[in-house]
Amino acid sequence: MASRFGLSVALTTPFDATGRIAIPLMTAHARTCLDAGCSSVTLFGTTGEGASVGTAERQAVIDAMLAAGIRPDELVAGVLVDAVEDAAEQSRQALQRAARNILLAPPSYFKNVGDDGLFGWFAAVFTTLGPLARGVLLYNIPSVTTVRLSLDLIGRLREAYPGVVAGVKDSGGDWAYSEALLKAHGDLIILIGDERHLAPAVRIGGQGAISGMANFAAGELRTIIESGRDDSRVESFVLELLGHPVIPAVKAMVARQTGDERWLTVRPPLEPVALQERQQLGAAYDRLFATKAA
């Protein structure tokens, strides 16, 4: 039996003063997260501003990660595009380099599409990939995509592509959905994106998380995954993060932890959080994590 998926950091992406990806800083941070207890690194996800990272840039980052000694089975690649051709090409880049998984979001530009249309899109991506297709984690994040992956759709896809669909990352923040997902498809790799629901998910079969908070609190999250115990500090800090634009807030926490202000930069259309917000986040973190887990 394969080992539990564990904790994957939804790696944030640093940019230099010219707006280019600061690749050496990014690879160093990936190594830091792995050393802190993460079992893998997820590149180009939501926290990593993946929708703002181009195909050529992605290849350069993946190659740099491998050159830095990060193993292919420690890499997950997020794919957050609408065109089948683009989704297949970005997936192919990572799969040809033996990445562990692809985190594949549904198309999101066209609204109010049904399960038949979504099934057709995923099927077209898998067909275009051909023999390379494997290890796909379907990405449920309706707050961003406005698409909620139904349990029926997941069932149809896994039945039609049993060697391709490996699991689901659920970032919906809806515990009722997460619980139903685990009951219906718990033999797949079910991962939780909302850290508030991580402990209860693990207790009923969840295999871990792809987490933005792991950029700066990997140890605490790994403990939750290994023990299944609630940690009120983590739950409270998620609420603090949600009180700000989350992606730049995570980068602000990494900047604070490392002392490197390059992490504050985001790509347009995102904007960095203000100094006052950064101070509020830092104070909340200190207040919560200076205490023992409850």
Residue with tokens 């933005």: 212
| 209 close to 221: Cβ distance less than 8 angstroms | yes
The answer to the question of whether 145 is labelled as a binding residue is: no
The answer to the question of whether 258 is labelled as a binding residue is: no
Q: Helix, strand or coil for residue 103?
A: strand
| Closest by Cα among 160, 172, 163, 168 to 196 | 172
Burial of residue 108, with CB atoms counted within 10 A of its CB: 0-12 exposed, 13-18 middle, 19 or more buried: middle
| Closest by Cα among 86, 85, 62 to 74 | 62
CA atoms within 13 A on the CB side of 185: 27
Spatial CB neighbours of 272, under 8 Å, sequence gap ≥ 6? 248, 251, 252, 264, 265, 266
CA torsion 183-189-193-196 (nearest 10°) is 50
Tokens of 155: 């069932």
The whole-angstrom separation of Cα 262 and Cα 273 is 13
Burial of residue 130, with CB atoms counted within 10 A of its CB: 0-12 exposed, 13-18 middle, 19 or more buried: exposed
The Cα angle at residue 108 between residues 206 and 196, in degrees rounded to 5: 30
Catalytic residues: 139, 169
DSSP at 6:
E
Binding site as annotated, residues: 47, 210
Indicate the annotated binding residues for pyruvate.
Answer: 47, 210
